[in-house]
Amino acid sequence: MEPSERLRLARERAGYETAADAARRFGWQIVTYRHHENGTRGFRRPDAIKYARAFRVSPEWILFGTGGPEKKAVPLVGYVGAGAEVFTLDDGTGALDEIDPPPGIGPDAVAVRVRGDSMWPRYMDGDVLIYDRHAPLDRIDGRECVVGLPDGRRFVKIVRKNPDGTFTLESWNAPPIHNVKLDWAAEIAWVKRA
Protein backbone atom coordinates (compact mmCIF):
# COMPACT_ATOMS: atom_id res chain seq x y z
CA MET A 1 0.00 0.00 0.00
CA GLU A 2 1.26 3.49 -0.87
CA PRO A 3 1.16 6.47 1.55
CA SER A 4 -1.70 8.01 -0.45
CA GLU A 5 -3.74 4.81 -0.03
CA ARG A 6 -3.07 4.71 3.70
CA LEU A 7 -4.07 8.37 3.92
CA ARG A 8 -7.38 7.61 2.19
CA LEU A 9 -7.96 4.63 4.50
CA ALA A 10 -7.22 6.75 7.59
CA ARG A 11 -9.70 9.38 6.40
CA GLU A 12 -12.40 6.80 5.77
CA ARG A 13 -11.85 5.11 9.14
CA ALA A 14 -12.06 8.52 10.84
CA GLY A 15 -15.58 8.88 9.45
CA TYR A 16 -15.14 11.36 6.59
CA GLU A 17 -16.97 10.24 3.47
CA THR A 18 -14.98 12.32 1.00
CA ALA A 19 -11.60 14.00 0.81
CA ALA A 20 -13.38 17.36 0.50
CA ASP A 21 -15.32 16.70 3.74
CA ALA A 22 -12.09 16.11 5.64
CA ALA A 23 -10.32 19.08 4.05
CA ARG A 24 -13.19 21.42 4.90
CA ARG A 25 -13.36 20.14 8.50
CA PHE A 26 -9.67 20.78 9.13
CA GLY A 27 -9.19 23.90 7.00
CA TRP A 28 -6.90 22.28 4.43
CA GLN A 29 -6.77 23.26 0.78
CA ILE A 30 -9.20 20.82 -0.84
CA VAL A 31 -7.25 20.49 -4.11
CA THR A 32 -3.94 19.90 -2.32
CA TYR A 33 -5.41 17.31 0.01
CA ARG A 34 -7.07 15.49 -2.90
CA HIS A 35 -3.72 15.36 -4.71
CA HIS A 36 -2.08 13.90 -1.60
CA GLU A 37 -4.82 11.33 -1.17
CA ASN A 38 -5.03 10.25 -4.81
CA GLY A 39 -1.25 10.06 -5.17
CA THR A 40 -0.80 12.66 -7.91
CA ARG A 41 1.34 14.76 -5.56
CA GLY A 42 3.57 13.36 -2.84
CA PHE A 43 3.64 14.73 0.69
CA ARG A 44 6.29 14.99 3.36
CA ARG A 45 6.45 14.34 7.06
CA PRO A 46 4.94 17.70 8.18
CA ASP A 47 1.81 16.95 6.14
CA ALA A 48 1.75 13.35 7.38
CA ILE A 49 1.89 14.61 10.97
CA LYS A 50 -0.99 17.00 10.31
CA TYR A 51 -3.10 14.28 8.69
CA ALA A 52 -2.23 11.70 11.34
CA ARG A 53 -3.28 14.09 14.09
CA ALA A 54 -6.60 14.75 12.40
CA PHE A 55 -7.34 11.07 11.78
CA ARG A 56 -5.81 9.79 15.07
CA VAL A 57 -3.26 7.45 13.53
CA SER A 58 0.53 7.57 13.56
CA PRO A 59 2.41 9.54 10.88
CA GLU A 60 4.77 6.55 10.54
CA TRP A 61 1.84 4.38 9.50
CA ILE A 62 0.72 6.90 6.88
CA LEU A 63 4.24 7.35 5.48
CA PHE A 64 5.78 3.89 5.84
CA GLY A 65 3.04 1.45 6.86
CA THR A 66 4.74 0.67 10.19
CA GLY A 67 2.45 -0.13 13.07
CA GLY A 68 -1.26 -0.19 12.42
CA PRO A 69 -4.09 2.14 11.52
CA GLU A 70 -5.87 1.74 14.87
CA LYS A 71 -7.24 4.96 16.28
CA LYS A 72 -5.78 6.10 19.59
CA ALA A 73 -8.29 6.23 22.47
CA VAL A 74 -8.99 9.52 24.29
CA PRO A 75 -7.90 9.34 27.95
CA LEU A 76 -10.45 10.38 30.59
CA VAL A 77 -8.23 12.49 32.85
CA GLY A 78 -10.60 13.94 35.42
CA TYR A 79 -13.98 15.46 36.04
CA VAL A 80 -15.88 18.76 36.05
CA GLY A 81 -17.61 19.55 39.32
CA ALA A 82 -19.40 22.37 41.09
CA GLY A 83 -18.82 25.82 39.63
CA ALA A 84 -17.65 24.12 36.43
CA GLU A 85 -14.18 23.62 37.91
CA VAL A 86 -12.13 20.89 36.25
CA PHE A 87 -10.23 18.44 38.44
CA THR A 88 -7.62 16.43 36.56
CA LEU A 89 -5.10 13.75 37.41
CA ASP A 90 -1.85 15.66 37.47
CA ASP A 91 0.08 13.16 39.54
CA GLY A 92 1.26 10.97 36.67
CA THR A 93 -1.14 8.14 37.50
CA GLY A 94 -2.54 8.10 33.99
CA ALA A 95 -6.19 8.08 33.01
CA LEU A 96 -9.37 7.07 34.82
CA ASP A 97 -10.68 5.44 31.66
CA GLU A 98 -10.45 5.63 27.87
CA ILE A 99 -13.07 6.95 25.45
CA ASP A 100 -13.48 5.85 21.84
CA PRO A 101 -12.38 8.82 19.74
CA PRO A 102 -15.00 10.68 17.73
CA PRO A 103 -14.14 11.76 14.16
CA GLY A 104 -11.67 14.60 13.78
CA ILE A 105 -10.21 14.53 17.28
CA GLY A 106 -6.43 14.80 17.37
CA PRO A 107 -4.13 12.39 19.23
CA ASP A 108 -3.52 14.86 22.08
CA ALA A 109 -7.20 15.14 23.02
CA VAL A 110 -8.29 14.41 26.57
CA ALA A 111 -11.68 14.07 28.22
CA VAL A 112 -13.32 15.00 31.51
CA ARG A 113 -16.61 13.66 32.92
CA VAL A 114 -19.32 15.93 34.32
CA ARG A 115 -20.23 15.21 37.96
CA GLY A 116 -23.44 16.52 39.44
CA ASP A 117 -25.91 19.03 38.05
CA SER A 118 -24.02 22.30 38.42
CA MET A 119 -23.81 22.64 34.63
CA TRP A 120 -27.44 21.72 33.91
CA PRO A 121 -29.14 22.28 31.42
CA ARG A 122 -26.04 22.48 29.22
CA TYR A 123 -24.44 19.29 30.50
CA MET A 124 -25.81 16.44 32.56
CA ASP A 125 -24.20 14.23 35.18
CA GLY A 126 -22.08 11.64 33.34
CA ASP A 127 -21.58 13.57 30.09
CA VAL A 128 -18.02 13.47 28.77
CA LEU A 129 -16.40 16.64 27.39
CA ILE A 130 -13.51 16.15 24.97
CA TYR A 131 -11.05 18.94 24.31
CA ASP A 132 -7.95 19.06 22.17
CA ARG A 133 -5.43 21.66 21.16
CA HIS A 134 -4.94 24.90 22.98
CA ALA A 135 -6.42 27.73 20.92
CA PRO A 136 -4.88 31.19 20.42
CA LEU A 137 -6.34 33.42 23.15
CA ASP A 138 -7.35 36.05 20.60
CA ARG A 139 -9.69 33.54 18.90
CA ILE A 140 -11.74 32.25 21.82
CA ASP A 141 -14.02 35.22 22.52
CA GLY A 142 -17.56 33.93 22.98
CA ARG A 143 -16.51 30.28 22.82
CA GLU A 144 -17.05 27.54 25.37
CA CYS A 145 -13.66 26.29 26.48
CA VAL A 146 -11.71 24.46 29.11
CA VAL A 147 -9.43 27.19 30.43
CA GLY A 148 -6.30 27.13 32.58
CA LEU A 149 -5.61 29.98 35.02
CA PRO A 150 -2.15 30.98 36.28
CA ASP A 151 -3.01 29.65 39.77
CA GLY A 152 -3.55 26.15 38.34
CA ARG A 153 -7.33 26.10 38.42
CA ARG A 154 -9.21 24.89 35.33
CA PHE A 155 -12.79 25.59 34.37
CA VAL A 156 -15.33 24.94 31.66
CA LYS A 157 -16.58 28.44 30.83
CA ILE A 158 -17.78 30.70 28.06
CA VAL A 159 -14.87 33.07 27.52
CA ARG A 160 -15.36 36.82 26.95
CA LYS A 161 -12.33 38.95 26.14
CA ASN A 162 -12.14 42.31 27.92
CA PRO A 163 -10.63 45.44 26.30
CA ASP A 164 -7.74 45.38 28.81
CA GLY A 165 -6.64 41.89 27.70
CA THR A 166 -8.15 40.06 30.66
CA PHE A 167 -11.13 37.73 30.37
CA THR A 168 -14.54 37.25 31.94
CA LEU A 169 -15.52 33.62 32.42
CA GLU A 170 -19.25 32.91 32.25
CA SER A 171 -21.19 29.85 33.36
CA TRP A 172 -24.69 28.49 33.10
CA ASN A 173 -25.31 28.33 36.86
CA ALA A 174 -22.55 30.29 38.55
CA PRO A 175 -21.71 33.98 38.74
CA PRO A 176 -19.11 35.18 36.22
CA ILE A 177 -15.45 35.42 37.13
CA HIS A 178 -14.23 38.85 36.04
CA ASN A 179 -10.84 40.20 34.92
CA VAL A 180 -8.79 37.01 34.94
CA LYS A 181 -5.69 36.17 32.98
CA LEU A 182 -5.55 32.83 31.18
CA ASP A 183 -2.60 30.52 30.70
CA TRP A 184 -4.40 28.55 28.01
CA ALA A 185 -7.78 27.71 26.54
CA ALA A 186 -9.05 24.74 24.56
CA GLU A 187 -12.45 24.67 22.90
CA ILE A 188 -14.81 21.83 23.76
CA ALA A 189 -14.50 19.71 20.62
CA TRP A 190 -17.02 16.98 21.34
CA VAL A 191 -19.63 16.00 23.94
CA LYS A 192 -20.46 12.35 24.57
CA ARG A 193 -23.84 12.26 26.30
CA ALA A 194 -24.32 9.96 29.29
Please state the domain extents for the chain.
3-64, 74-192
Domain 74-192 in the same topology as domain 3-64 = no
- Alpha-helical (H) ranges within the chain are 3-13, 19-26, 30-38, 45-55, 59-64
Query: Looking at domain 3-64, what is its CATH homologous superfamily?
Result: lambda repressor-like DNA-binding domains (1.10.260.40)
Confidence (pLDDT) at 91: 44
Exposure class string for 91-117: b at 16+ Cβ within 10 A, else e = eeeebeeebebbbbbbbebbbbbbbee
Q: What is the pLDDT of residue 92?
A: 44
What is the predicted pLDDT for the residue at 83?
73
The CATH architecture annotation of domain 74-192 reads Ribbon (2.10)
**pLDDT per position as a tens digit, 95-122:** 788 888 776 676 678 899 998 887 888 8
Collect the ranges in the chain with pLDDT lower than 70.
71, 82, 89-94, 103-104, 106-107
